[in-house]
A and B are shown apart, each in its own frame.
Chain A
Amino acid sequence: MSTVYSQRRALSVGLILSLCIVLVFIGSLSAGAVAISWQVIINTLFDLEGEQQTYIILNSRLPRSLLALLVGGCLAISGTIIQGLLRNPLASPKIIGINAGAALAVCLMTLLLPDLPMTYLPLAAVLGGTLAALIVYLGSHWRESSMTRLVLIGIAVGFVCEAGIDYILISSPPYQFSTPLVWLTGSLWSRGWSHLAMSWHLLIGLLISALILSYRLDLIRLGAVHAKGLGVNVGFERFLLLAIATLLASISVSVVGVLGFVGLMAPHIARSLVGGSHRTLIPIAILVGMLLVVLADACGRAIAPPIEISAGILTALFGGPFFIYILLKMGSTES
């Protein structure tokens, strides 16, 4: 983790990643239940003469892939900030309870206000995710605060939320929760320009402010005493960054559902590529997150058409073993 890599290395890694993203993005435009030839895709994109597939390319695959990029980047930066601030490589939006809180809120909304249109689902998710994260933060600061405490309280809050979710799901007829169940598995099914239009200002705005603030992460991490000397108001900036990270993850989850492990994996992969300095780590992590989610969404569409496999299931299937790998690696470096 402490390996120092040069800026040049970061630049070349960034370029290679960007190239990968472009390639996967283009691949994503051709992945799906309807086979479309490259000629037709190019015709449609550049409005050339000849056969076009306007709806599928321009209204379905293009906005979905763009949304995947955006959400992937947001989850990745959120995860990087949370890991950096908490100085815990195992922390992630999921660990601090955002996913479970959002999921419980969505189920509660469906249960208590069944007539409310499903378009309100994101609002409930943001509220639930933020509230759960708040409980975890407050809980970990309530007594002497340590990173272990925070992680454990996050897990416990997750358990409480899951107990509630199980209760609600089991005591209700299955059809009632058709939409929430799809949401719980993290799917970009039926996401289009309207979802992008609804969330992009907010997400891009938060993303930029996170980028601007995040170079201070290295200073904050030096410790309160040093950072104060360098003119950083540690308490306030910590709070601001955590708030932004929480909002970024909650809003992302609210738009596409529970997309686990991206916020955890992206920073780790980025760290192994360019090292731990946040100035370079953050942009690389964002690129990695984008790549992961676009890839997961495209694969989910391409594996078994016309059935779509949720992107969240694919990220979880990769993320679980990845997390175990990190734990094992930590074990070997410590001892």
Chain B
Amino acid sequence: MLFKKVGHCLVVGVISMLSLPVFSAVIEHELGSTQVPDSPQRIVVLEFSFVDALAAVNVAPVGLADDNKPERIVAAYRKIIGSDWISVGTRKTPSLELTASLKPDLIIADKKRHSAAYATLSEIAPTIVLDSLVGDYPAAVKQMSVIGNALGKEEEMEQRITEHKAKIAAYAETFKALSDGMYVQFATARASRLTLHSASSYNGSLLNAFGFSSKLNPTDGDARANFYVPTTLEQLSELNPEVLILGNYADVTIIDQWKNEALYQNLSAVKAGKVFHVDAHSWSRLRGMVAAESTAEDLSAIMKKISAKK
């Protein structure tokens, strides 16, 4: 019996040594450094920006955290990664069991959400932890290189980044004639709250990359509330953006309540008919190169409307 077992172990061991990819690349990440296989095949990602990074270099994950709402993986991603991935639950508490059952060889996790589970995740597969939720657009692009390295697709990713930067620059160029320095404000609207995305947020810095400006530049003072600023109608009227881009998170929002008020109707953007609606999810929850390019397309449509008005 015992011999049988030992023999079994030996056989399994030899097979696994042959079949397992050789561990080579060492990836530096937020919680240290992790050895990852040469070109991982079965990848589980736990934030949307990591899906974006995979899609950028045509890699499909086997599992991802979609908050159990498959529609959160938008068409732009499905075009590339298909629909064969398995949902491992919410981004906040992804199911570790499901993750393990997918037998991944690389897990990409988020610093703010999954640090406490890093040890457990590392037991399942080599895990790298990146700060997906914090930081602006340039930081999000920088993260792409790290993921490129981890996927063993360093060159492909660098090439994609260069391509992406050129694309964004080209968009900025076409916007320039109309938009130079125009103050464009992106905000998300809920039933009882309007949240402005400041210049230091992902969306704000992305708008800057397109050549737009922002009057909402919270400096060091209160670092915590820097990115997303809940606002009142009065504060909005003081900022008075030239273009207001709204992403609705509810069917009936606070804007519907404000619509009939003099102060709202007095906003430059409202008076000039420059209030536009976009998909809140793909603008502000998703982040990365694919997402930024779809944002660029939305903006391009908006700019066309604006130039038609002139």
Contact = CB atoms under 8 A, between A and B. Distances in A.
Direct A–B contact present (CB less than 8 angstroms)? yes
B225 interface: yes
Given A56-B100, A173-B224, A173-B225, A119 B68 contact: no
A60 B123 CA distance: 10
A243 interface: no
Contacts of A55: 100, 123-124
Interface string A32-57: 11100000000000010100010110
Given A172-B225, A175-B134, A190 B95 contact: no
Contacts of B227: 173
A35 to B, nearest CB: 10
B88 interface: yes
B217 interface: no
Interface stretch (B54-62, B114-122, B246-254, B288-296): B114-122
Nearest to A56: B97
Contacts of A119: 115-116
B95 A305 contact: yes
A178 interface: yes
A291 B89 CA distance: 27
Nearest to B195: A173
A306 B116 contact: no
B98 A33 contact: yes
Contacts of B121: 190
Contacts of A218: none
A178 B132 CA distance: 13
Nearest to B88: A306
A61 B96 CA distance: 10
Contacts of B96: 60, 189-190
Contact of A306 (B68, B112, B113, B115): B68
Interface residues of B, number: 34
Contacts of B112: 175-176, 178-179
A296 to B, nearest CB: 15
A182 interface: yes
A59 interface: yes
Given A33-B98, A189-B93, A190-B117, A117 B225 contact: no
Contacts of A179: 112-113, 115-116
A308 B123 contact: no
A107 interface: no
A33 B95 contact: yes
Interface in A162-201: 171-173, 175-176, 178-179, 181-182, 187, 189-192, 194
B61 to A, nearest CB: 15
Interface string B216-239: 000000101101100000000000
B78 interface: no
Interface string A11-33: 00000000000000000000011
Nearest to B133: A175
The B interface, classified by DSSP as helix, strand, loop or mixed, is: helix
Contacts of B89: 33, 305-308
B97 A192 contact: no
B139 to A, nearest CB: 14
B203 interface: no
Contact of A171 (B8, B120, B225): B225
Nearest to A121: B116
Nearest to B227: A173
Nearest to A59: B123
B92 interface: yes
A21 B222 CA distance: 51
Given A176-B112, A189-B117, A190-B117, A33 B224 contact: no
Contacts of B222: 171
Contacts of A307: 68, 89-90, 93, 95
Contacts of A182: 92-93
A147 interface: no
B145 interface: no
A222 interface: no
Interface string A103-128: 00000000100000111010000000
A32 B97 contact: yes
Contacts of A192: 119-120, 123
A117 B113 CA distance: 11
A176 B94 CA distance: 17
B31 interface: yes
A117 to B, nearest CB: 6
A60 B100 contact: yes
B98 A34 contact: yes
A190 B88 contact: no
Contacts of B120: 59-60, 190-192, 194
Interface of B: 5, 8, 31, 68, 87-90, 92-98, 100-101, 112-113, 115-117, 119-121, 123-124, 133-134, 222, 224-225, 227-228
Interface of A: 32-34, 47, 49, 53, 55-56, 59-61, 111, 117-119, 121, 171-173, 175-176, 178-179, 181-182, 187, 189-192, 194, 305-308
Given A176-B224, A194-B120, 17 more contacts: A32-B97, A33-B98, A34-B97, A34-B100, A34-B101, A53-B101, A56-B100, A60-B96, A61-B97, A117-B115, A173-B224, A173-B228, A178-B92, A187-B93, A306-B88, A307-B68, A307-B90
Identify the 10 closest CB pairs spanning chains A and B, nearest first. Answer: A190-B117, A306-B89, A306-B95, A175-B133, A118-B116, A33-B95, A55-B100, A178-B113, A118-B115, A189-B93
24 contacts: A32-B95, A33-B97, A34-B101, A59-B100, A59-B120, A60-B96, A111-B224, A171-B224, A171-B225, A172-B224, A173-B228, A190-B96, A190-B117, A190-B120, A194-B119, A305-B89, A305-B95, A305-B98, A306-B87, A306-B88, A307-B89, A307-B95, A308-B89, A308-B95
